[in-house]
Amino acid sequence: MSHAETVQQRKPITAAIIPVYNEERNVGDVLEVLRRTDLLDELILVDDGSTDRTTDVLHQAALRDRRIQVIRHERNKGKGQAMFTGWAATSATYLVMLDADLKNLKPDHIPVLLDPILQHRADMTLGLFSGGHLSTDLSHRLTPFLTGQRGLRSEIMKYISREAATGYGFEVTLTIGARQQGYRTKIVTLKGVWHPSSELRTERGFWKGSLWKLRMYGQIVRAWYIATHERPVDGERSFSSLLKP
């Protein structure tokens, strides 16, 4: 067996999971950055029922990078379900989670998220924006537990309430689940990175974007309530539930 075949068949160690919904204008830039880092063994792209050309963009990227796996939901199920779909598709020990609309992402930002995990100095990192755009910098400073840019031990996903993680409740549920199980978290800085606010997305318009953001925060509050009022998730039971039809 050749060295290349051995590398291809070995168990993946690190994987990036990126949920994508109607991001034909943005996701290509993020994928181009990830192509230039060899720290990731797999790139799992979950198209959450996009209605624009996102699917085509993802499949074109997959032709250029053999690490990419594209999974499509036939209908929009929400960010939380997209993340669980991506997790179920990999056996990687360590994960990187990224939003699909990031601006000014660089290859050097990936080890910022992953190195503390790989070096056993933390179990999960929370990547906060700094110096990219004032509005997103401020948002991250006020609510660091909502960041979608993370590195983590994949086992933490076993302890997340699937009910609480529905839609945009995923990040707060992940943060609470990790804390309940005693995992160590570390804040890291992603210098220069930002993403457009919901109300500033040109394809949505101001009012539609504002309503989108209001709905997002409603899901976050719901997730916080469920995750903090139910019993901590049993990791073995949670993982087994993923295998049921």
Q: Strand 150-153 and strand 42-48: pairing? A: unpaired
pLDDT of residue 3: 43
In order of start, what are the domains of the chain with their CATH numbers? 3-242 (3.90.550.10)
Predicted local confidence at residue 70, as pLDDT: 98
Confidence (pLDDT) at 198: 58
**C-alpha radius of gyration, the chain, whole number:** 17
What is the C-alpha end-to-end distance of the chain, expressed in Å?
A: 36
Question: What's the pLDDT score for residue 147?
Answer: 95
pLDDT tens string, the chain, 245 residues long: the values are: 444 454 455 667 999 999 999 999 999 999 999 999 999 999 999 999 999 999 999 999 999 999 999 999 999 999 999 999 999 999 999 999 999 999 999 999 999 999 999 999 999 999 999 998 888 888 888 889 889 999 999 999 999 888 888 888 899 999 999 999 999 999 999 999 999 875 455 455 556 666 766 777 777 788 778 888 876 666 554 433 433 33
Q: Which residues contact 41 (CB under 8 A, 6 or more apart)?
A: 12, 13, 14, 15, 67, 92
Contact status, residue 104 vs residue 193, Cβ threshold 8 Å: yes
Taking the CB of residue 121, how many other CB atoms lie within 10 A of it? 11
**Would you give the distance in Å from CA 51 to the centre of its chain?**
20
Report DSSP letters for 177-201, one per residue.
Answer: HHHHTT--EEEEEEET-B---GGG-
Looking at residue 9, its pLDDT comes to 56
pLDDT of residue 230: 72
DSSP reduced 3-state for 107: coil
